[in-house]
Amino acid sequence: MKTLIECVNEARAAKKAVGHFNVSTLDGIWAVADAARDLKLPVIIGVSEGERDYVGVRAAALVVKSIREDRGQEIYLNADHTYSFERVKEAIDAGYDAVIYDGAALSYEENIATAKKCVDYAKSHRSLSGAPIVVESELGFIGQSSKILDAIPAGAAVTEAQMTSPEDALRFVRDTGVDLLAPAVGNIHGVVRGGDPALNTKRVKDIYDAVGIPLVLHGASGNTADDIRKCIEGGVAIVHVNTELRIAYRSGLVRSLSENADEVAPYKFLKPAKLAMQKVVGEKLRIMNGA
């Protein structure tokens, strides 16, 4: 079985990306796993702090581990958007394959200091699969809400002057030793009514040329397939999708409940929601892999 970093490096070499999909429930995990299995592609399950609190920090790790072992599937678990060293440590201790320390809202110096502390701790541990734990960090603020937005979040880096610069990115990577970097390149968390802003695909390439490590595109819900593909060509090797999955799941559930008003078995009325989510995962994976 390949390690996560091996899958990421292979994707980068092929100018493709590993899909990262957030979940909040067990059927969400199965939606992502089944879509990736159908396409024979590696995939990352993401659980943010709030999602981990709901699913269970260790429970999520054990479920993903069981799927990986039972199916021989390249499926990995990431502790998405973690805002403190203590919560990063919690995920590492639970055996996650990857963690993201998100100090983008802090000062540059505070972000570097805590990110390095996370890297140092991860180096002395292994995931449940026995592989080194991958550490990612964010540089540049892109908002924090995976929902439908009426406007771009205040302070989000959507102008060239606000975006992550290649110089800051290089210094950050050198000073922290992170394996992956998530820069602000016009991307935002959530989906903006009326359409998300265009991504600065040239900035992506400039940052990748400077740092030389795989980049991660957060907040890809609402972005065009063309923008996502250009970011992958420029250096992105992991693409995050969350809000579109939540919308699909909710819409599928509302439709299921309205069409089956007398059904009381959760595994029956939840299935259409799971399948709606699975369909979106499949569509996004095709985009990320050149289809």
Active site residues: 80
DSSP 8-state class, residue 136? E
Q: Encoding tokens for residue 93?
A: 């201790």
- For residues 92 and 163, give the distance between their C-alpha atoms in angstroms, rounded to a whole number: 30
Contacts of 189 (CB under 8 A, 6+ apart): 142, 143, 144, 145, 146, 153, 218, 219, 242, 243
CA dist 154 and 165 (Å) reads 19
Chain CA centroid to CA 63, Å: 18
Residue 215 backbone phi and psi in degrees, to 5: -100, 160
Task: State the burial class of residue 167 (Cβ atoms within 10 Å of its Cβ: 0-12, 13-18, 19+).
Answer: exposed
Find, among 261, 260, 185, the residue nearest to 230 by Cα: 185
Closest CA to 249 of 221, 217, 229: 221
- Burial of residue 53 (CB within 10 Å: 0-12, 13-18, 19+) is exposed
Under DSSP, the state recorded for 147 is S
Measured between alpha carbons, how far is 238 from 251 in angstroms, rounded to an integer? Answer: 26
C-alpha to C-alpha distance for 181 and 172, rounded to whole angstroms: 9
